[in-house]
Amino acid sequence: MADDLLTQLKRMTTVVADTGDIEAIRRFQPTDATTNPSLILQAAQQEARRRRLAEIARHATDIDDALDAVAVEIGSEISALVPGFVSTEVSARLSFDTEASLARARSLIARYDRHGVGPERILIKLAATWEGIQAAKVLEREGIHTNLTLMFNFDQARACADAGVTLVSPFVGRILDWHKAQDPEADFGGDRDPGVQSVKRIYEHFKGHGYETIVMGASFRNSGEIKALAGCDRLTISPALLGELAETQGTLERRLSPLGAETRPPEPQDEPEFRWALNEDAMATEKLAEGIRKFMADQRKLEGLLAELRQG
């Protein structure tokens, strides 16, 4: 009997769990796990965590302290279940503040260290704004690994690679969402999916120019997008889609393969060039802003929950 699609995918791509759900991570045994404010909120709302959250909230110096304590505690639990990286996000509120992002990232790494989790196990997630990318450049020089998220276009990815970040997370599903809203009747299946096309372009550019930055496709809407990117360095996948792949038999074809560096990288963009290129891409501009707002909306909900527990 042939292996299921998830087993086959793991042979060609590092599978990452896109969740803060401990039980899902135990079930699917990914190599890495990635979280974000929305996933931390979901994990924090589990009744089994209520007492511990209340304890954290009451001992925290303020809400920011409580937020990071919760994120690191959940991340530390996850680190005991996966052999690779755990991604933990800097507050979306700091997406346009390089210095504040640096301070928060260093604080998160120090918290992990107090939990016995070394910096080699952690990816600090930052939004792929100009300010986030500059913070990542500094952190990488300090030996702190970074994951640049909310990535919607090639210029964001290129700037991240030039900055020497460890990993980029180009979003697939949210790109598809935008294009479907513009043209509801269009066929975006398989290789016609604009999110899939975006990841392929980034992957081919990185491999063709010898960048070491890892490409991790993210934000999937269906298993077809995952299958179309089989062979990508990493793919971060929700428990629902991991379950679908695990329950599906068939043959999974490798779609992406590194061919090796062919040419020297182009000159890095400066800030005006980066901002202009992003401004010219309506989809990326809109989805980046929307993504930051959505992460902040969930962060505010978590802040409210922790504030309530502090008072209780």
Which residues are catalytic, by number? Answer: 125
Distance CA 144, CA 108 (A): 11
**Burial class (CB within 10 angstroms; exposed 0-12, middle 13-18, buried 19+) of 41:** buried
Residues in the chain: 312
* Triad 287, 288, 291: Cα angle to 5°: 80
Beta bridge partners of 124: 88, 146
Any idea which residue has 């392929």 for tokens? 200
Burial readout 124-160 (b: 16 or more C-beta within 10 A, e: otherwise) = bbbbbbbbbbbbbbbbbeeebbbbbbbbbbbbbbbbb
